[in-house]
Amino acid sequence: MIEISIVSGKGGVGKSLLAAHLAILLSRKWRLIAVDADAEAPNMHIVLGIKEWDRVIGHHEGRRAFILQDKCTGCGECLKACQFGAIRVDDGKYVVDKWLCEGCYTCSLVCPVKAIRFERDVLAGWIRVKETTRWGFPLVSAEITPGRPNSGKLVTEARNTGRAINNNADLMLLDSAAGIGCQVIASLAGSHAAILVAEPTRASISDLKRVIKLVQHFRIPSMLVVNKYDLNTELYEEILGIAEKNKIDVLGRIPYDENVPRSYVAMKPLIEYNPDSPAAQALIEIGDRLDNVLSRFDEWRLEHLPEAYKPFTPIVIRPGETLG
């Protein structure tokens, strides 16, 4: 199964719009799985018009501290030691804020009377599954519990859930989170390619450069889609220059189109809400280009690996010989 992550570095540039429409378009030919890997702000289901889930699976992990009040002497050592500010005084008692506790054990180490215990396997989030009979592919969506850490682990579980649903699928599309943090790394880990999404703004260009470094670090060949490209011609040309410098193919560009937010309000994919709109036509063209890439994916991937990462002929040094 080919796994492709859609990443951007910056939020709000159209990753979910692109991921949802590529899933719809490519599912007409390929057996695919869609994964919303933005655990802290999943919204791919909104683009697809999904309101209910077939399954909601609780994901438990980690730990959270609590204080035994009958043993606590009120010395305040735990309050001073907690770097997350998760311990406070409430009505004269030291208590742990469950939304801030990271379960790091520091408070228990400094407590002189061992009054701190830990709740284990805390509900960290949910993995939601929908068999989209309308579109013909399953959607797996990760959603983290507010305040819980380790969203990267939740993304990994969502990805593994998608693989378990259909390990004979041809393609998995992952809608990654914004930034370059643990969620994005978890979605990129094991991916065979990445689609970078940018818009012609200074903030997006700055984050595009960071995410390029990230995919290059993981040796992942990439493609680029520029959303709302017509808002700033100068910055659009700058983005194209960055792509050329880093040997990244431009998969397509999407014009600014007021039909996009209107389709969100209607909870309909744009290609259904207004298939003749400029953005819808651009998305269809991008889907066709990606289909061509997938048809020759092994060849394309080898061509687009950075030079330093391509297969090389090893140098054989025989006994008594030296380099040079």
Q: How far apart are CA 147 and CA 145, in angstroms?
A: 6
Instruction: Give yes or no: residues 128 and 103 share one domain.
Output: no
The parent domain of residue 302 ranges over 2-59+124-306
Residue 224: per-residue pLDDT: 96
Instruction: Give yes or no: residues 40 and 103 share one domain.
Output: no
Q: In the predicted model, is pLDDT for residue 126 greater than 90?
A: no
Structural contact between residues 39 and 158, judged by C-beta atoms closer than 8 angstroms: yes
Structural contact between residues 141 and 36, judged by C-beta atoms closer than 8 angstroms: yes
pLDDT (tens digit per residue) in 26-85: 999 999 999 998 888 888 888 888 888 989 988 888 788 999 999 999 999 999 999 999
CATH of the domain at 161: 3.40.50.300
Instruction: Give yes or no: residues 109 and 182 share one domain.
Output: no
Q: pTM for the whole thing? A: 0.80
Q: Which of 30, 47, 35 is nearest to 265 (CA)?
A: 47
Q: How many domains does the chain divide into?
A: 2
Instruction: Give yes or no: residues 103 and 138 share one domain.
Output: no
Instruction: Give yes or no: residues 143 and 270 share one domain.
Output: yes
Instruction: Give yes or no: residues 220 and 266 share one domain.
Output: yes
Residue 210: inside a domain: yes
pLDDT (tens digit per residue) in 295-319: 998 888 887 776 544 454 555 556 6
Residue 52: inside a domain: yes
Instruction: Give yes or no: residues 144 and 79 share one domain.
Output: no
pLDDT (tens digit per residue) in 249-300: 999 999 999 999 999 888 889 998 999 999 999 999 999 999 999 999 888 8
Q: How far apart are CA 192 and CA 298, in angstroms?
A: 10
Residue 307: per-residue pLDDT: 58
Residue 314: per-residue pLDDT: 55
Instruction: Give yes or no: residues 173 and 84 share one domain.
Output: no
Instruction: Give yes or no: residues 27 and 75 share one domain.
Output: no
Instruction: Give yes or no: residues 146 and 193 share one domain.
Output: yes
